[in-house]
Amino acid sequence: MDSLQHDNLENPTTEAGPEPSLKPQPAAKKTIGGVAYVRDAYGCYIPASYLKDKTKVRTPKDALPALASIRYSPQEIVAVLDLDGNNQIFNVRHVTIGLANQCQIHPRETFRGAILNNAVSILIAHNHPSGNLEPSESDLIATRRLVEVSKTIGIPVVDHLIVSSTGFLSLRERYPAYFT
């Protein structure tokens, strides 16, 4: 039993024994809601993505290597980059896959993984297979909606990038008022 003995309140002892070892233990893995977790030395599950090298996002261009998987796709894909408190990418998620010229994006799918991963902020990106980087009206509406939802749940959207094989466009740079 792991309870404290209160016979001597000045010197409580535990029946559990010594503190857990800080030595690396074999990682137990589990997936919850599409997010992979590993168990640390104390038996707590943490997102597996925390164990990867992290890229700091200072400018929109810093995020491009993490988006390589969607830049050349023949279908529109919405990706979300989960960021920690230092604006470092610790997870990349594809939240929806659409058609050649459209993709639906919804706050529920966008923020689910960010909440499960304890993201401090997110960067949203999607590709335009045509190579045209101009945002559609639906891109702008989705951006405004996601930014509004982010204010409610406390996970800011730092930018929304449109990427393609020809380059990228930052909606934050083009439409800064959307992000205030």
Going from N- to C-terminal start, the domains of the chain cover 4-51, 55-179
Q: Report the distance separating Cα 145 and Cα 131, nearest Å.
A: 24
Angle at 86 between CA 163 and CA 110, to 5 degrees: 45
* pLDDT (average), residues 136-147: 95
Specify the 3-state DSSP secondary structure of 64: helix
Strand pairing of 121-127 and 157-164? Answer: parallel
pLDDT band at 54 (very low <50, low <70, confident <90, very high): confident
pLDDT band at 9 (very low <50, low <70, confident <90, very high): very low
Task: Show the 3-state SS of 117-155.
Answer: CCCCEEEEEEECCCCCCCCCHHHHHHHHHHHHHHHHHCC
Q: What is the pTM of this model?
A: 0.71
* Model confidence at 102: pLDDT above 60: no
Strand partners, 89: 55, 83
Decide if 114 contacts 89 (C-beta within 8 A).
Answer: no
Q: What is the pLDDT of residue 132?
A: 95
Q: Number of C-alpha atoms within 13 angstroms, CB side, residue 59?
A: 3
Decide if 127 contacts 77 (C-beta within 8 A).
Answer: yes
Tokens of 63: 């995020």
What is the chain's mean pLDDT, rounded?
81
Total residue count of the chain as it appears in this document: 180
Decide if 169 contacts 162 (C-beta within 8 A).
Answer: yes
Specify the 3-state DSSP secondary structure of 98: coil
The domain 55-179 is placed in CATH, from the list 2.60.40.10, 3.40.140.10, 3.90.1150.200, 3.40.50.720, at 3.40.140.10
Q: What is the pLDDT of residue 43?
A: 64
The closest alpha carbon to 173, from 74, 35, 59, belongs to 59
Decide if 164 contacts 76 (C-beta within 8 A).
Answer: no
19-40 pLDDT tens trace: 444 444 445 677 776 667 766 6
Q: Report the distance separating Cα 95 and Cα 105, nearest Å.
A: 8
Q: What is the pLDDT of residue 106?
A: 86
